[in-house]
Amino acid sequence: MTGDDQWYEAAFVVGITNALNVVADGLAPTLPPLDAAAAGPEAAAVFAEARAFYGAADVPAPLAVVARDPAYLADLWGAVKRAFSERRLTRRHKTALAFAVSLTTRSTFGTAFHLADLRRLGVSESGVMEIVGVTQMFSSYTKIADTLQLTSDMADIAPADPSGVPDAGAG
């Protein structure tokens, strides 16, 4: 494991969270989630795994929507499960990231889903408010910076990057 591992993990959580949210928020109202009986045995096996992973009675809506294509569902679930599994980052931290990104992108599904999961993982209301505070403050900070078109001067405080990839914010 290198120092970048945790950032790759975070990026995958953010990406796959957005993927689930776009289907849940944008598609579920017009293409309803399927139940296990309608989805067939291959999808039902994924549903069972997802229910166990989230300790929930219901299958997350975006998975049940894409169950119309069981092979696609299985691959999507493989990515979701891998992204949220505890490795360098804890499951709790990954769920906090997913909650923050869902809130930032105004995902009704994602915000409610990951909030429930945070609570299930033992995060208190105070802990939830910590993530709400960070999300809200950085939603303010970023818009102020963008309105004034500031260039980053924070890259200086990061460790030296030996990759040689140009950093627009450096200096």
Partner 1 sequence: MPTVRLRDASEYPEPARRLFELSKRWFDYDFKEPPAMSRVMAWDPHFGGPHGRAMKRAMAPGEFSRGEKEMVAAAVSGANACTY
User: Which residues are at the interface with partner 1 (CB under 8 A)?
Assistant: 6-7, 10, 13-14, 18, 89, 93, 96-97, 100-101, 104-105, 123-124, 126-127, 130-131, 133-154, 156-157, 168-169
Q: Closest approach of Cβ 40 to partner 1, in Å?
A: 35
Q: Rounded distance, CA 64 to CA 39, Å?
A: 8
Q: Closest approach of Cβ 73 to partner 1, in Å?
A: 25
Q: Closest approach of Cβ 22 to partner 1, in Å?
A: 13
C-beta of residue 38 within 8 angstroms of C-beta of residue 66: no
Q: Closest approach of Cβ 76 to partner 1, in Å?
A: 21
Residues 6+ apart with CB under 8 A from 142: none
Q: Any idea of the CA torsion for 12, 13, 14, 20, to the nearest 10 degrees?
A: 110
Q: What are phi and psi of 23, to 5 degrees?
A: -70, -45
Of 13 and 76, CB closest to partner 1: 13
Of 22 and 36, CB closest to partner 1: 22
- The CB-based long-range contact list for 152-156 (8 Å cut-off, 24+ gap) reads none
What is the rounded end-to-end Cα distance, in angstroms, of the chain?
Answer: 29
Of 87 and 136, CB closest to partner 1: 136
Of 32 and 133, CB closest to partner 1: 133
